[in-house]
A and B are shown apart, each in its own frame.
Chain A
């Protein structure tokens, strides 16, 4: 009787769902690591709550950040989320490398089941909760500034997307403390993830975290695409948009059309698991191959969702730090669009070995190789942009150069993999793992780090520490090569991916090198945080309040750093591709507006946080079969949306007088600043005003 009551209240929760209890009962190193991870989450949450209470920061946090609809703050929150998740996933990667290096002919220290959870969370987090929030955050911050807009098209939707992503990421963290995660990899293939083989909560955590995240990303894509389509400032024609805006647009379009297949795949898997449908099961007509097809209909465009924004960042960075106009703008735009469309035609290369006939494989193999062409065009364009430019090797530029070399290497191995007979040989080996890390670390992570270093002074008004930036950069590059080049060798020698222990002694040296590489990558992560800390400590020496530390080209540099909440005192109008760069040369930059007007901004709203938190709670209820919670949560989300539609007072006015006061103050800062030449831009002399060569 009491059992019935408890299961009605707590679903299928039992005490052994807690890693502490499991570690107490069977104190192996593997279980203790699990309990340790859980306590890090709990202690981290307690520490954060204590700090917020001590510094009385709850209220400002809520009213100035969490409920904010300002695209700049939402962007920053996305990036913070990405860094938190990056830290967790890198630590998991290091654990896996240590396990493999120590488990040659011995069981090692991590149990197979725990190892499977590690690679599943590592992949899921890196893709959905590190890469996606990171690029979404950067686009959120930069894109509206670049197109001369005051905000995105749908500010509230932006907040809702952030909170859905945040809620989903929270669910991932909860899975460390309560229960366990999926062991089915980041792609969650059935029938293994079906009830018959994985009856536990793991795949359910995966399903709901990914579903919430993908809904958030679809809405984000919608929001960005409409913003770019409809909110550009006067004069900003499509072919005058900065390249980062172009890549953002293509990424958004990919999000709109590529996230739905993922939603369908996870939703159908959920129907199988919760209601006993037979879509992907082994019996009664289920067909898991359909899942593989649906998943990669999403999965391949997703790769370009991740990589295109970085291409945009590199275009901006290379042009700025070469003091040259971007070479081949039109070809870069066309290449971006070509990649976006082609990315919908190659998904089969993720399952060449599934058994379809060779002609079909050949078609998709050729299509895959075709994508190399526009990508190659881009690389040449960047090289020609640097050619005869005044190249400055700042941190973002170093990342761009490292990207170009590393990415081309990864592209070569991609061409190899695109060849179906060869794919049959290295399919499901570490060769593939090496390949996609070789694409995504330079093609996403370096790009986003370059973006962070490049636009950080704009967002916070001071530069990041250059020395620690270089140290961190060196670690990311050296660590990458040491960690992943050996995997090519191992993969070609037949080492299967996702393997908990090896039995081939010849693998040992390569696994050791890869292990050292992983440790260096961990150091790279740590030095990033050191850099942030040092930079904040020395912020007063590195202020760039005038707003233009790098002799920038686009509209985002034409305003104060950090920008006012309304971005532009008057909406600018542009006549070229590099409006601010040209403006500085013609003397039109830093002109006081003739007339100020009232500015209408969206009021803060608690709708986003409410929907995100309630959505995550609903998902938690579904994971644990706590049906009352799931039902209540669904109802609450619907009620919240309806209630919000009845709110009429959604705008507030920034009076013209305030705009004038703030703009005048900034213009005084500008005229007081010393214009500096590019040679000393990384010294404290840089106050954010660029010397224009005569």
Chain B
């Protein structure tokens, strides 16, 4: 209800916050590569963390997926998809890296 009252201005602000956050995270990720100062694995972990954060920002501010009741269907769908994707991708990587290792 409260958001409905703030109306257009509130919605614009929400998008701008999302844009700002996304921009920040993007710049951080590119900066981490442009001026590399960590070991390779640390950099990779930082990159993935930043990307995950940015994905959440996009879902929250651009696609309006929240924990509220009204978007529960969509959220469940996304989480289930994330589970399946995680199963498929991690399985693929584990199996094929294992195969490569054993063929060396």
Max chain B C-beta neighbours (<10 A), residue from A345, A347, A356, A360: A356
Q: How distant is B98 from chain A, measured CB to nearest CB, in Å?
A: 5
Q: Quick check: B73 and A289 within 8 Å, CB to CB?
A: no
Interface residue from B73, B84, B87, B98 paired with A357 (Cβ < 8 Å)? B98
Q: Quick check: B96 and A289 within 8 Å, CB to CB?
A: yes
Interface residue from A253, A347, A355 paired with B91 (Cβ < 8 Å)? A347
B84 contacts across to A, CB distance below 8 A: 257, 344
Which chain A residues in 231-283 approach chain B with CB under 8 Å?
253, 257, 261
Which chain A residues in 280-311 approach chain B with CB under 8 Å?
287, 289-290, 293-294, 297
- Bound state CA distance, A287 and B95, in angstroms? 13
Instruction: Tell me whether A356 and B92 are in contact in the complex, defined as CB-CB below 8 angstroms, given that A344-B84, A344-B87 are known contacts.
Output: no
A297 contacts across to B, CB distance below 8 A: 88, 91-92
- Bound state CA distance, A354 and B80, in angstroms? 30
Q: Does B71 contact A (CB under 8 A)?
A: no
Q: How distant is A351 from chain B, measured CB to nearest CB, in Å?
A: 9
Q: Does A348 contact B (CB under 8 A)?
A: yes
Closest to A344 in B: B87
Q: How distant is A339 from chain B, measured CB to nearest CB, in Å?
A: 15
Q: Does B9 contact A (CB under 8 A)?
A: no
- Bound state CA distance, A355 and B97, in angstroms? 11
Q: Does B102 contact A (CB under 8 A)?
A: yes
Q: How distant is B54 from chain A, measured CB to nearest CB, in Å?
A: 24
B87 contacts across to A, CB distance below 8 A: 344-345
Interface residue from A253, A293, A344 paired with B95 (Cβ < 8 Å)? A293
Closest to A256 in B: B81
Closest to A294 in B: B92
Q: Does A229 contact B (CB under 8 A)?
A: yes
Interface string of A396-414 (1 = CB under 8 A from B): 0000000000000000000
B88 contacts across to A, CB distance below 8 A: 261, 297, 344
Interface residues of A, CB < 8 Å — how many? 19
Q: Quick check: A356 and B95 within 8 Å, CB to CB?
A: yes
Instruction: Tell me whether A354 and B81 are in contact in the complex, defined as CB-CB below 8 angstroms, given that A229-B73, A345-B87 are known contacts.
Output: no
Q: How distant is A343 from chain B, measured CB to nearest CB, in Å?
A: 11
Instruction: Tell me whether A356 and B102 are in contact in the complex, defined as CB-CB below 8 angstroms, given that A261-B88, A293-B92, A293-B96 are known contacts.
Output: yes
B102 contacts across to A, CB distance below 8 A: 355-357
Q: Does B31 contact A (CB under 8 A)?
A: no
B98 contacts across to A, CB distance below 8 A: 356-357, 360
Interface string of B74-95 (1 = CB under 8 A from A): 0000001100100110011011
A287 contacts across to B, CB distance below 8 A: 96
Q: How distant is A347 from chain B, measured CB to nearest CB, in Å?
A: 7
Q: How distant is A370 from chain B, measured CB to nearest CB, in Å?
A: 15
Q: Does B103 contact A (CB under 8 A)?
A: yes
- Bound state CA distance, A261 and B85, in angstroms? 11
- Bound state CA distance, A289 and B92, in angstroms? 10
Q: How distant is A361 from chain B, measured CB to nearest CB, in Å?
A: 10
Q: Quick check: B96 and A290 within 8 Å, CB to CB?
A: yes
- Bound state CA distance, A289 and B95, in angstroms? 10
Q: How distant is B69 from chain A, measured CB to nearest CB, in Å?
A: 15
Which chain B residues in 27-81 approach chain A with CB under 8 Å?
73, 80-81
Q: Does B99 contact A (CB under 8 A)?
A: yes
Q: Quick check: A360 and B73 within 8 Å, CB to CB?
A: no
Q: Quick check: B99 and A257 within 8 Å, CB to CB?
A: no
Closest to A297 in B: B88
A229 contacts across to B, CB distance below 8 A: 73
B95 contacts across to A, CB distance below 8 A: 293, 348, 356, 360
- Bound state CA distance, A253 and B77, in angstroms? 10
Interface residue from B73, B92, B94, B99 paired with A354 (Cβ < 8 Å)? B99
B81 contacts across to A, CB distance below 8 A: 257
Instruction: Tell me whether A355 and B103 are in contact in the complex, defined as CB-CB below 8 angstroms, given that A261-B88, A293-B95 are known contacts.
Output: yes
Task: Give B residues with C-beta under 8 Å from A.
Answer: 73, 80-81, 84, 87-88, 91-92, 94-96, 98-99, 102-103
Task: Give A residues with C-beta under 8 Å from B.
Answer: 229, 253, 257, 261, 287, 289-290, 293-294, 297, 344-345, 347-348, 354-357, 360
Question: 29 pairs across A/B with beta carbons < 8 Å?
Answer: A257-B81, A257-B84, A261-B88, A287-B96, A290-B96, A293-B92, A293-B96, A294-B92, A297-B88, A297-B91, A297-B92, A344-B84, A344-B87, A344-B88, A345-B87, A345-B91, A347-B91, A348-B91, A348-B95, A354-B99, A355-B99, A355-B102, A355-B103, A356-B95, A356-B99, A356-B102, A357-B98, A357-B102, A360-B95
9 closest Cβ contacts across the A-B interface? Answer: A356-B98, A257-B84, A344-B87, A356-B99, A356-B95, A293-B92, A297-B88, A289-B99, A355-B99
A-B contact sample (13 more), CB < 8 A, given A287-B96, A348-B91? A229-B73, A253-B80, A289-B96, A290-B96, A294-B92, A297-B88, A344-B87, A354-B99, A355-B102, A355-B103, A356-B102, A360-B95, A360-B98
